[in-house]
Amino acid sequence: MKALKILGPEELVVEDLPLPEPAEDEVRVRMQYGGICGSDLHYYYLGRNGAFAVTEPFTPGHEMSGVVDLDPSGTYAPGTPVTIAPATFGTPLRGIEDRRHLWPGGTYLGSASTKPHTQGGMQEYRNVKNFMIRTLPEGLSVQDAALAEPLAVALHAINIAGGVKGQRVLVAGCGPIGLCVVAGALAGGAERVDATDVLSGPLGRATALGASTAFVAGTDEVPAEEYDIVFECSGAAPSITTAMRAVRKAGTVTQVGMLPDENIGVNLAPFVSKEVTYKATFRFDDEIDAAITTLAQNPSIASIITTHVIPAQRAVDAFAVAKDSQVSGKVVVSLWLDE
C-alpha cells in the first residue's frame, strides 16, 4: 500500500508499505479522504508542531474518512462508510475524570508527540481500534465526513463556552476551525453570529455559512461590548485583544486557536474591568457524534468549508493550497482513489 511520509521540513514522499493485518480489536479501513489541519501544515513546512519534532518518517492526518476493509470481529461489514475518532485515552486524573481527552498517556492519529510517533491516516489502509469507528448516516458522503473531526473541535468549544442558544456570537479568525465554529454556532441556535478576519476569502466563506456581519480585522471597527460569547480562533495576540474588547460585561471569551508557547502582548484590562470569563478548549471528547449528525442535517456546511479536493499524487500542491488561507478553506486529500 502507499503512504504519505514527512521526512523533514518540506520533504514529503510516497512510501510503499506492507498491508497491515488488524488485531482482533481493530478494524482495517480503506482510507479515502484526509483533511489537512494546521498541525499537518506545521509538520510539513517546519518539521515540527510546537515542541513535537518529526524524528522518523511520519504519516500525517487525523481528519479521516473511508470504508471498512476488514473487521475481524464481524461488527462492520466490508464497504461500510465511516469516519474516525482519532484519539485513544490515557489515565484518569483527579479533577478531570470527565475530560478523557485531557488524560495523560493518550494518543492522537498523526501526532509526533509520542515516541515512536503515532502515525496518521494519509495512507491507503490504516488499522484503528474498533471504538474509534463511526459509521455514516444516510445522506452523508465519505468525502464530507472528513470534516467531522474539525467540526467536533468546534462543537467542543461551543460546549466549553456553555452553549450558544439565543446568544450573540463573534468568531475571530475564520480559518477552517473558525468556519466550523460559525457553522456550529448557527446550528446551535445562536441569535446572531458575526465574524472577523484579516482576509476577505475566509470572511466570504463565513458569510456564505450565514454570518451576519464580516469585519476586516485591522480595518473595520468591531463594536465594543456587543457579544455574549467570543470565540478566538486565530491564536494571534491582536485578535485576543479584540475579543476582550468586543465581549460584553460578564461575557465569555473562549480560546480555540492554538497560542505560541511564549510571552505575547495582549491587553487584558477589559478582562478585569468587565469580569470576563476566559476559557480554553483543546481537541474534543465525544462531540464527533454530534458533528456527524450536524453534517448530515446541513449538507451546505461541508460544501462551503471544503474548498479543494486534491489527489494524493499532488500532495505537495495540496499543502501549498492549504497554506494559502485567502484561497482555501478546508483542503482535503483524496487518497489514491483514481488509480
Does residue 146 belong to any structural domain of this protein?
A: no
Which residue segment(s) compose the domain that 129 sits in? 2-135+299-334
Does residue 320 belong to any structural domain of this protein?
A: yes
Q: Give the residue from 300, 316, 237, 285 showing the smallest Cα distance to 40.
A: 316
The reply to whether 199 and 324 lie within a common domain is: no
Q: Are 161 and 107 in contact (CB under 8 A)?
A: no
- Model confidence at 83: pLDDT above 90: yes
Which CATH number is 47's domain given?
Answer: 3.90.180.10
Does residue 140 belong to any structural domain of this protein?
A: no
Under the banding of pLDDT at 50, 70 and 90, the label for residue 339 is low
Does residue 274 belong to any structural domain of this protein?
A: yes
What is the spatial distance between Cα 293 and Cα 191, in angstroms, rounded to a whole number?
A: 21
Which CATH number is 188's domain given?
Answer: 3.40.50.720
Does residue 100 belong to any structural domain of this protein?
A: yes
Does residue 47 belong to any structural domain of this protein?
A: yes
Mean pLDDT of 210-215: 98
The reply to whether 17 and 117 lie within a common domain is: yes
The reply to whether 8 and 125 lie within a common domain is: yes
- Model confidence at 318: pLDDT above 90: yes
Does residue 24 belong to any structural domain of this protein?
A: yes
Q: Are 64 and 146 in contact (CB under 8 A)?
A: yes
* Positive/negative CA dihedral, 107, 110, 112, 113: negative
Q: What is the pLDDT of residue 220?
A: 96
Mean pLDDT of 293-320: 97
The reply to whether 249 and 325 lie within a common domain is: no
Number of domains in the chain: 2
- Model confidence at 262: pLDDT above 90: no
The reply to whether 60 and 119 lie within a common domain is: yes
The reply to whether 10 and 131 lie within a common domain is: yes
Q: What is the pLDDT of residue 136?
A: 98
Q: What is the pLDDT of residues 93-149, one digit of tens each?
A: 999 999 999 999 999 999 999 999 999 999 999 999 999 999 999 999 999 999 999
Q: What is the pLDDT of residue 117?
A: 97
Output the nine-digit C-alpha cell for 96: 478531570
Q: What is the pLDDT of residue 259?
A: 81
Q: What is the pLDDT of residue 219?
A: 95
The reply to whether 131 and 99 lie within a common domain is: yes
More confident residue, 262 or 20: 20
pTM: 0.96
Does residue 339 belong to any structural domain of this protein?
A: no
The reply to whether 218 and 252 lie within a common domain is: yes
Under the banding of pLDDT at 50, 70 and 90, the label for residue 338 is confident
Q: What is the pLDDT of residue 109?
A: 97
Average pLDDT over the chain reads 96
Q: What is the pLDDT of residue 267?
A: 86
Q: What is the pLDDT of residues 28-40, one digit of tens each?
A: 999 999 999 999 9
**CA count, 13 A, side-chain hemisphere, 41:** 17
The reply to whether 11 and 73 lie within a common domain is: yes
Mean pLDDT of 286-299: 97
Mean pLDDT of 248-256: 98
Output the nine-digit C-alpha cell for 170: 463573534
What is the spatial distance between Cα 158 and Cα 163, in angstroms, rounded to a whole number?
A: 5
The reply to whether 77 and 174 lie within a common domain is: no
The percent of residues in the chain predicted with pLDDT above 70, rounded, is 100
Per-residue H/E/C for the chain: CEEEEEEECCEEEEEECCCCCCCCCEEEEEEEEEECCHHHHHHHHHCEECCEECCCCECCCCEEEEEEEECCCCCCCCCCEEEECCEECCCCCCCCCCCHHHCCCCEECCECCCCCCECCCCECEEEEEHHHEEECCCCCCHHHHCCHHHHHHHHHHHHHHCCCCCCEEEEECCCHHHHHHHHHHHHCCCCEEEEEECCHHHHHHHHHHCCCCEEECCCCCCCCCCEEEEEECCCCHHHHHHHHHHEEEEEEEEECCCCCCCCCCCCCHHHHHCCCEEEECCCCCCCHHHHHHHHHHCCHHHHHHEEEEEEHHHHHHHHHHHHCCCCCCEEEEECCCCC
The reply to whether 128 and 54 lie within a common domain is: yes
Q: What is the pLDDT of residue 143?
A: 98
Q: What is the pLDDT of residues 166-200, one digit of tens each?
A: 999 999 999 999 999 999 999 999 999 999 999 99
The reply to whether 247 and 305 lie within a common domain is: no
